[in-house]
Structure 1
Amino acid sequence: MEIINLNQEIKPTFNLLKFTFGIVPIVAGLDKFTNILTNWEQYINPSLGGMIPLSAHSFMMIVGIIEILAGIIVLLKPAIGGLIVAAWLTLIALTLLASGHYLDVAVRDLVMAIGAFSMTRIAKLIS
């Protein structure tokens, strides 16, 4: 009977999740300043946009900084960063659902939030 070292078996999967949930928020955050991937301002819920005391561009730049920081935290402290990213993605999905627009992106963000939360759980197991 072969004894499986769970830590050794799951570590590559964990690292894949850690780098994905670390690098993707950093890239998305940086793109808030350039809009190369998309025009991020289009994703602001119009009913919330009127309540923000900033321009949509300025708001998205702040969002970008938060995403960059979240990605860095994932890379340094995945158990904490994963929770931050999961919560962040859930909030984004909820605002998209409330707007009734980009429902496909909302569903994708909820799936990604589950992945980030799962990474957090794995981080606690292997540490």
Structure 2
Amino acid sequence: MTSQNQQTALSGVFNLLKFTFVIVPIVAGADKFVDLLTNWDLYLNPGLAGIIPFSAHTFMMIVGVIEIVAGIIVLKKPEIGGLIVAAWLALIALTLLAGLQFLDVAVRDLVMAIAAFSMARISKIIQ
């Protein structure tokens, strides 16, 4: 494969990852306000729910705003946004693992964190 073909292929992978990590955080964040995809309050670690000074739903709405902002950052600055999304997903996975609940979601979020980190690294090469 020529260098130009490699660059084109890498750009295609990058764009796919970039738009995934723009759309998914924004959609998931917006859904924290309407609960169409799921009841997000259930994903809050019960230990954490007991120490926050507001309801689980309010906490999830705050999470939603953070996710929407993260998606916008990926759109504007994918190198930085990818690292933010990767860290955010890893943190979510760790809270799920700590509560020993939704382990399938925790594994999925760790895989997505690796993909977001990879997108951030690729952005250094192609931009």
Q: TM-score range by the shorter chain?
A: over 0.9
* Offset at residue 8 of structure 1 (A): 1.9
1:107 paired with 2:107, answer: yes
* Counterpart residue number, 2:125: 125
Q: Helix, strand or coil for the counterpart of 2:3?
A: coil
State the shift of 1:13 in Å.
0.9
Which residue number corresponds to residue 82 of structure 2?
82
CA distance in 2, matches of 1:69, 1:7: 29
Aligned length: 126
> CA RMSD for the aligned pairs?
0.9
**Partners of 1:81 and 1:67 in 2: how far apart?**
11
Gaps of 5+ in 1: none
1:45 corresponds in structure 2 to 45
Could you list the runs of 5+ residues in structure 2 that have no partner in the other structure? none
Deviation at 1:70, TM superposition (A): 0.2
TM-score, normalisation: structure 1: 0.96
Q: Name 1:4's counterpart in structure 2.
A: 3
The TM-score with structure 2 as length reference comes to 0.96
Establish whether residue 57 from structure 1 lines up as the match of residue 53 from structure 2.
Answer: no
Aligned amino acid, residue 22 of structure 1: V
Following TM superposition, the consecutive aligned residue runs of length 4 or more in structure 1 with deviations greater than 4 angstroms are none
Letter in 2 for 1:4: S
